[in-house]
Amino acid sequence: MANVTQRHKFSKHRGNESDRKPRDGKFIRKPKKFVKQTKVLVEKHMRFPGVYVSRGKEDSLCTLNMVPGMSVYNEKRITVETNDEKKEYRIWNPYRSKLAAGMVSGCENVYMGPGSKVLYLGAASGTTVSHVSDLVGTSGVVYAVEFSQRSGRDLVNLAKKRPNIIPIIDDARYPQNYRMLVPIVDCIFSDVAQPDQARIVGLNAKYFLKSQGGVVMSIKANCIDSTKKAESVFADEVNKLRKDDIKPKEQVSLEPFEKDHAMVLGVYRPKDI
Ligand SMILES: C[S@@+](CC[C@H](N)C(=O)[O-])C[C@H]1O[C@@H](n2cnc3c(N)ncnc32)[C@H](O)[C@@H]1O
């Protein structure tokens, strides 16, 4: 991984020593190409298209802000200027977002990128939805389902500024209610923290997920069964997904960002197609 400041490749070749020795009491200016330094502040993430990494004392995940000048939940923004073009990125904190926690925890594929259609179950006020909106960009869409009226108000306000978010204030247990709003999608992300979450995901997959589409599900063990060990709850949820034709590909622990949480990622392979 590169450091905050990467010297321009020419900077190794510093010209002749004599170039830098004082002449008439002054240092001569080195030829420009030898002194140029390029600050590499933000790079594309190697595994996740549409996600970036800002290099600093500590590296941070970030997304390219679709609405420059505006934070969504008071998150930090950074501006990078390259070739007279300014770009603004929003820092994506894995302590505030399980999707970011999953990426930082090493999952390989989140099944979404620029242009993707994502069905997001459990959108809350839109903290993570806003980053998914940046990630999929103007050619993608996030169908964000949330049943709390209060969070739903924030979500609707967020969608006024971000045209690629379609807020759906409804219960994810009843996908038939929003079937007129949601087309076939590339990925379902779920963070509803409900005991029947796997069933909710399976049902939504049947309605909306394309064959070979991705499923990303965050599991909070004690929401499902607080009497069992977290590992055994995760294993049960994976088996439930299998029964709904979702083939698990990866499971990552979200600790230390979220205690007793895991993220399960898989691919939908409906038998009847
Ligand atoms: C853990 S929070 C989601 C946080 C959000 N994903 C984020 O990162 O910003 C879970 C959310 O799911 C919502 N929720 C729970 N059950 C739901 C259901 N059946 N249908 C729709 N939303 C639901 C809750 O109201 C809550 O806002």
Q: Residue ranges of the domains in the chain?
A: 41-92, 95-268
| CATH class of the domain whose range is 41-92 | alpha beta
With a Cβ cut-off of 6 Å, ligand 1 is lined by: 97-98, 122, 124, 127-128, 145-148, 151, 171-173, 191-194
Alpha-carbon distance 214 to 237, whole Å? 16
Residue 98 alpha carbon to ligand 1 centre in Å: 12
By residue count, the chain amounts to 273
Tens of pLDDT along the chain (273 residues) come to 333 222 222 223 333 333 333 344 343 444 444 434 446 589 999 999 999 999 988 899 999 999 999 999 999 999 998 888 999 999 999 999 999 999 999 999 999 999 999 999 999 999 999 999 999 999 999 999 999 999 999 999 999 999 999 999 999 999 999 999 999 999 999 999 999 999 999 999 999 999 999 999 999 999 999 999 999 999 999 999 999 999 999 999 999 999 999 999 999 999 876
| CATH class of the domain whose range is 95-268 | alpha beta
Alpha-carbon distance 270 to 263, whole Å? 21
What is the DSSP track for 136-205?
Answer: H-TT-EEEEEE--HHHHHHHHHHHHH-TTEEEEES-TT-GGGGTTT---EEEEEE----TTHHHHHHHHH
Residue 190 alpha carbon to ligand 1 centre in Å: 8
Whole-model pTM over 0.75: yes
Residue 248 alpha carbon to ligand 1 centre in Å: 22
